[in-house]
Structure 1
Amino acid sequence: MVSGGCQSRNNVIMNSSEYAIYVDQPLDTAIINYNSFSHNNWITNNPSLYDFDTIYYTADPMFENPDSNNYLLQMFSPLIDAGDPNILDVDGSRSDVGLYGGPYGQSYQYKDLPPKKPKVTHASPAPPLPTRKK
C-alpha cells in the first residue's frame, strides 16, 4: 500500500462494461504497473490519479479457456514473463501477468492451441446493394 493511494501489479482486468478501475474516494496516487486491461470500455474514470509509468497491456491475454474459468496462459501469450521484474515465478523466471504468475503461482506447460472462433457480439443487416442504371 502506498500512503494515500494503492498499488496494483501483475493483474488481468477484463470484460468491464464500464471502467476497469473505478475510484469513488479521493486518492493521492495509485501505482498501476504490469497489468493487462482487456475488453474494457475504459481503463479508469480518473486517469490523473494513475501513473502508468511502467507497462500495461491491452492485447488479448490468450487464456486457454476463459469460458470454463481456465485462465492458464497459452504459448505465445503477451503476458508470459511480462510481469514486474522484481517478482519471480516459481521456476525462477520473470513473473507472468495474471492468476498463475508470481512466487505463489503454478508452474505448467504452455499449450499451443488453435485460434478460437470469433464471437459475434453485434450484427447489423447488410446495406442494400446499389442498383445499376440502364
Structure 2
Amino acid sequence: MKPGASFYSMDNHSSAGSPVICLWLVSVLLLFCSVGVEAAPSEAPMNMEEAYSQLEQKLNLTNEQKPKVKVILKDSRENLKKIRATDENRLTKAKALRENRDETNKRLATVLNDQQMQTYRESRKELRDKLKQYRDMKKSE
C-alpha cells in the first residue's frame, strides 16, 4: 500500500483481496446496520441498539440467548475496530477479518439453535447479494 493511502481508498481492480473485502463489508453491515435485510437503505437502523433489536426479532432470540448474542456481537465489533485501526497490509487485514468472522460464527453457533444459525446465514447471504447489486449499480453510474 502506498504511504498515506488508507485501507478503504485502495482501488478495487485488484482481484486478490476483493472477495475478502466484500465479505468483510457484508459482516460489518450485517452486524452494524442492516440486520433487517428487507429494509431499504434509508430505513436501515441508525445505531447498534436498533440493529441488535432487529436481529433479536429476526432470530426470535430467547431471554437466555439475548445477552449472550449481544456480548458476542459486541466483541466482534470491537475486534473489527482494532483490525481497521492497524497499519497492517491489505492481506493481513483480510485474514484477520476472516478469522474474526469465523470466531463470531463459532461463538454464535454455541448459543443459537440450528434454525437460528440458518436464518443468520441466510441474512448474511441476502445482504451480500444486496451489496453486490449496489456496487454494480454504482459502477454503471
TM-score by structure 1 length? 0.25
Q: Which has the higher strand share?
A: 1
- What TM-score results when the alignment is normalised by the length of structure 2? 0.24
Structure having greater relative contact order (Cα 8 Å, sep ≥ 6): 2
